[in-house]
Amino acid sequence: MAFLATIASEVMAYMRKVILHPATLVYSLVVLLAGTASAAQPLPWQLGLQPPAGSIAEMADDLHDLLLIVITLISLFVLGLLVYVGIRFRAAANPVPSKTSHHTVIEILWTVIPVVILVGIAVPSFRLLYYLDKTAETDMVIKVTGNQWYWNYEYPDEGIAFDSYMVDEGDLQEGQIRLLSVDYPMVVPENTRIKLLITGNDVMHSFFVPSLAVQVYAFIGRTNEVWIDVPTGAQTYYGQCNQICGVNHAYMPIEVKALPAAEYQEWLKSAREEFAMSTPSPAVKPEAGSEAPIVLASAN
């Protein structure tokens, strides 16, 4: 009994310290009031996933919620069985144990029921998997290259490419987020489907933006294809490299900035001047004999 009291007091102490902490309450209130539109970044003491943005993320979120229900019911059922067996068949109450070792009906049940559960889970899971695969129906392409330790974004149809570095703590401006804000974010138009070609230049990286439900490895000499579904609304989505890639792994965040169509065109105009590609990056160097156009240097 003493250890139960210890556990209870530990839980109470944790609740007092963390869940009832003023910062937690204020954040919970802010998140509740602000709704799902404003939090495409991790928050202190956050529970659960970041609010989903776009159809892929919504489907992934729904699948997560479904699995959470299934796993909770299974865990409670197994816990209930354990408690029941522990009490009902304890040595004191059951001095002569049964020698039963087989029970055909139960064995069939505990084979068939898990199979039914798994098949039930497989249906939404495969639906999401095949939905993720539909990279053909996209509006535009961005090539993302992981480097030690920054990202490079290339818009092949616009002839622009630029590096994206984390803003150092000392240089943070008003509204920028420590370890998440970058100097040049990946800018995208709202309400578009974007094909991402993800590759690496040195070691393995991983392009991970939780709110858009995208997490893809960036390998050297290999291009992974995925698409994101940017929802309507000007919004910034934050992510990080989540494949340990060296000493500055924690300092190569991802910032995806969604703009309304007109503002995106404005950005494109200035980006074409500032970020015109001088040479194609190594991963898109045209192969001998191919007709891929090479964009020449601009004069700035």
Residue ranges binding Cu ion (CB under 5 A) = 205, 241, 245
Q: Which residue, 214 or 245, has its beta carbon nearer to Cu ion?
A: 245
**Which pair of structure tokens corresponds to residue 110?**
């505990």
**Shortest separation between residue 205's beta carbon and Cu ion, angstroms:** 3
**Shortest separation between residue 183's beta carbon and Cu ion, angstroms:** 17
Cα atoms in the 13 Å half-sphere on the side-chain side of 4: 1
**Shortest separation between residue 224's beta carbon and Cu ion, angstroms:** 14
**Shortest separation between residue 37's beta carbon and Cu ion, angstroms:** 29
Cis peptide before 149 (omega within 30 of 0): yes
Q: Which residue, 56 or 241, has its beta carbon nearer to Cu ion?
A: 241
Q: Which residue, 218 or 259, has its beta carbon nearer to Cu ion?
A: 218
**Shortest separation between residue 146's beta carbon and Cu ion, angstroms:** 5
**Shortest separation between residue 245's beta carbon and Cu ion, angstroms:** 3
Q: Which residue, 27 or 251, has its beta carbon nearer to Cu ion?
A: 251
**Shortest separation between residue 200's beta carbon and Cu ion, angstroms:** 8
Q: Are 122 and 60 in contact (CB under 8 A)?
A: no
Identity of the amino acid at 293: P
Sign of CA dihedral 106, 107, 110, 115: negative
Q: Which residue, 205 or 257, has its beta carbon nearer to Cu ion?
A: 205
Q: Are 237 and 181 in contact (CB under 8 A)?
A: no
Q: Which residue, 70 or 204, has its beta carbon nearer to Cu ion?
A: 204
**Which pair of structure tokens corresponds to residue 74?**
């299974």
Q: Which residue, 245 or 276, has its beta carbon nearer to Cu ion?
A: 245
